[in-house]
Amino acid sequence: MMVVFYHSHWAAQGKHTDFFQVPLLSDFGYLGVQLFFCISGFIMAHVATKDDFAPKSFLRRRFWRIVPLYWVTLLLIMLISFTSNIFDKQVETLGVWGIAKSFLMLPMQEYPLLSPGWSLEHEVIFYIIVALVVPFAGLRVLFLTIFALWVIGLNYYGWDYHLFSKNHIYFALGIAAYWLRKKNPVLLGLGSALGLIAGYLSLYGFFQFSSAAKSLSLAIGFSFLISTLVSLEYRGTRFPQLFVRIGNISYSLYLVHVFVYIGFEKVAWKINANPEAWRLLGLIAAIIIANLTYKYLETPLHKTGNAFNLKPKSKKEGE
């Protein structure tokens, strides 16, 4: 939702740019991606510590979880590009090889065909590292590996195919959140508040933090936030189903909100719509369409993938 709100000005950007500014969201809502990386680190740590963790099955499940729906959105862009000029700039900039890399989720210096897909490239790198490290060295070495790659990236400025990405700190601290998930939620919440306050104040210029210090502070804040919420859930807290539902549709929402906003922007030009009202309607429409996408497209695709990953029963089990 941070990212979707941050992008919501796209729904009426052709009309005005003087939207009502919401602190933390209008200017730094893009950090929702980094929060997602942290959540991903937590989830992969949970998955990788299961007794039946197997690299091949893990990668197959990851493939079916993210790739089919992503390919559908890319194919939609290609279809639209044949009938309009909306995506002409992206298609011309990337060329055939760039479009192919977008479908393959290969690391790219430029944005892929669907711009939010850049984060999936980092996810794929992380998944591969998980599959290579955990079976042989465990979760602690995975944490150290990801953290070391981040440290190397702080002093490496060439093209690294995302291997030394500065986003690795969020994956690493997501793993740390998994270790902290049963600790005292009050202390965890305090740690989250301190990390996030320091990180955001530095973004607003109150502190002269280095880029690495800003990322580390925010990563700590996000990490402790995740572990706080999970710790509360262990202690019986139940969160509103609306939040749970939005969490469930978050991947669909991440991918489809771009299309919704582009459509709204085109109409806004024609009807001279009020930009703020149009932006709010666009945000609501994005959530509704993402909900439908999740129900009728993402979930069936995911179930298909799970069917391929079912282990065949042994003869004894069959009997």
- Taking only the tens place, the pLDDT of each residue in 21-67 is 899 999 999 999 999 999 999 999 999 999 999 999 999 999 999 99
Q: What is the mean pLDDT of residues 130-157?
A: 96
* More confident site: 194 or 86: 194
Helix boundaries (H) for the chain? 2-6, 32-48, 55-83, 88-104, 118-154, 168-179, 185-203, 211-234, 241-248, 250-271, 275-293, 299-309, 315-318
Higher pLDDT, 227 or 89: 227
Query: Could you tell me the end-to-end alpha-carbon distance of the chain, in angstroms, rounded to an integer?
Result: 49
Q: Which two tokens stand for residue 301?
A: 């695709």
pLDDT of residue 311: 54
Residue 120, pLDDT above cutoff 70 = yes
pLDDT of residue 106: 96
For the chain, what are the domain ranges? 2-179+238-306, 182-237
Question: CA nearest 62: which of 111, 108, 130?
Answer: 130
Give the angle subtended at the CA of 173 by the CAs of 185 and 71, to the nearest 5°.
Answer: 115
Phi-psi region of 210 (alpha: psi -120 to 50; beta: other; left: phi over 0): beta
- Supply the pLDDT for residue 269: 79
pLDDT in tens, 97-113: 999 999 999 999 999 99
pLDDT of 15 strictly over 70: no
Q: Is the pLDDT of residue 119 over 90?
A: yes
Minimal CA–CA distance to 42: which of 147, 142, 166, 179? Answer: 179
Q: Which residue has the higher pLDDT, 218 or 302?
A: 218
pLDDT at 314: 44
Lowest mean pLDDT among 11-25, 150-164, 179-193, 278-292: 11-25
pLDDT at 205 over 60: yes
User: What integer is the mean pLDDT of 303-314?
Assistant: 68
- pLDDT band per the 50, 70, 90 thresholds, residue 95: very high
Predicted local distance difference test score (pLDDT) of residue 29: 96
Confidence band of 313 (pLDDT split at 50, 70, 90): very low
> Which amino acid type is present at position 100?
A
Residue 19 has pLDDT above 60, yes or no: yes
Query: Minimum mean pLDDT among 114-128, 131-145, 264-278, 282-296: which range?
Result: 264-278
**pLDDT at site 109:** 94
Q: What is the pTM of this model?
A: 0.94
In this predicted structure, which of 78-82, 218-222, 234-238, 263-267 has the lowest mean pLDDT? 263-267
Q: Could you give the percent of the chain with pLDDT greater than 70?
A: 95
Task: Give the C-alpha distances (Å, rounded to integers) separating 197 from 33, 177, 207, 232.
Answer: 18, 18, 11, 21
pLDDT tops 70 at residue 18: no
Question: Exposed, middle or buried, 207 (CB in 10 Å: 0-12/13-18/19+)?
Answer: middle
**CA pair distance 180, 168, nearest whole angstrom:** 19
Is residue 12's pLDDT more than 90? no
Q: What is the per-residue pLDDT across 152-163, written as a single tens digit (0 to 9) for each?
A: 999 998 999 999
pLDDT of the residue at 21:
85
